[in-house]
A and B are shown apart, each in its own frame.
Chain A
Amino acid sequence: MSTDKSTNAGSRKGSLLSLDAWAVIVALALALAVRFDILKDVPW
């Protein structure tokens, strides 16, 4: 069974950044890619 250990606990064992931090970094990178038209008209 999986458990959400990272939300509140800072970094995971053996990882410099927490899951939250990774999620924010990747989201910001994607937002920048969209902002500067590297990613355009993402379909759904």
Chain B
Amino acid sequence: MITTTAPSPVTAVTPVKSDNALLKALRLVPGVLLLAVIGYAGKFLEHFLNTYAKAHHWTFPNIEYVLWAILIGLAMGNTVGVPKLFEAGVATYEFWLKLGIVLLGARFVLADILKLGGISVALVVIEITLSLALMTFLGRMFKLKPKLTSLLAIGSSICGVSAIIAAKGAIDADDEDSSFAIAAILALGALSLFTFPAIAHGLHMNDVSYGLWAGLGVDNTAEATAAGALYSDAAGKVAVLAKTARNAMIGFVVLAYAIYWAGRGQAEAVTNKAAFLWKKFPKFILGFLLMSLAVGFHAFSKAQIGSLGNLSKWAFLLTFAGVGLRTNFRDMSRQGLRPFIVGALGEILIACLTLGLVIGANRIWGL
């Protein structure tokens, strides 16, 4: 902190504020560096193993940098853990995710967004309706607390953790319920990273169909992005688009639940619905659309669009390292079995259902 012997009121306050901001920024550096090192190690391993296997005429499956980055993060997070020094920076993986999504907007022309986005929105509406009904039914069948059931239904139908956090305040759920729901969604998201690509390879799905399936079936945005990228670059792009369409619905579903619980006298009434919807709307989607619009107006050359796409990939690289680091199996196992069983059953059924939807859409629209 900067101190002076005879400070005027202004000079005494201003340096403290800037010091705090600087300190806060500096505190992020070790963790961000850790994300970068793990992400780059993943990229290095992919390149090194492929080159080595080729040089020695080995048959070695091509394991993408995405999976390596997640695996290294998982190994570190679940063995030595994330030291306190790195925690603040590691938590920035959400920022890198959103930055990557906004930059990815440059890789979509508006026509793609309108076509794929239109199909995604149609599928998302069906998916949300069926998921909400299914999770509510399962929650009742397993006699979960009603608000925990609501949180699980919202989390699995829209966008995982952020939807649960958004709904928690709106329906006045308690902390324990929301951490149960978050743990279940995160554990299942981690599993989907391995199961979704394997199933899709088995079914010989094309990139667009798989991307749509990952965007519709995987709940948390980071995991959906990673699950898409694990299949191919093109699938990763489509997964982000489908997931973004799903995220855009968050306000409507949370509003419906808020009104439901307020009607039962167990949550605050929503007075201004438009303001509520705007507050819950994920604003980074606007950035994604703006970027795509700029490309549509030829604001960038082909090489510049390539650069923006690569910047997006670097941002996602840090995200994938963060996904691995923050997935802690020990924490998840402490959260109890019943919510996990309900979540797992629901997720398996939703995955089958969304797979059926995507296969149907492929037949109708020829994705």
- Interface residues of chain A, those whose CB is within 8 Å of chain B, are 1-10, 18-24, 26-28, 30-31, 34-35, 39-44
Contacts and interface: CB of A to CB of B under 8 A. Distances in A.
A9 to B, nearest CB: 6
Contacts of B220: 4
Contacts of B284: 7, 20, 23-24
Interface of B: 90-91, 93-95, 98-99, 101-103, 106, 159-166, 169, 179, 182-183, 186, 220-221, 247, 250-251, 254, 279-284, 286-287, 290-291, 294, 299-300, 303-304, 306-308, 310-311, 313-314, 322, 326, 328, 331
A38 B34 CA distance: 27
10 contacts: A1-B182, A5-B165, A9-B166, A23-B284, A24-B98, A24-B283, A26-B99, A34-B307, A43-B310, A44-B310
Contact of B98 (A1, A8, A23, A35): A23
Contacts of A27: 99, 102-103, 287, 291
Nearest to B98: A23
B94 A19 contact: yes
Contacts of A9: 165-166, 169, 279-280
A10 to B, nearest CB: 6
A35 B294 CA distance: 11
Contacts of B183: 1
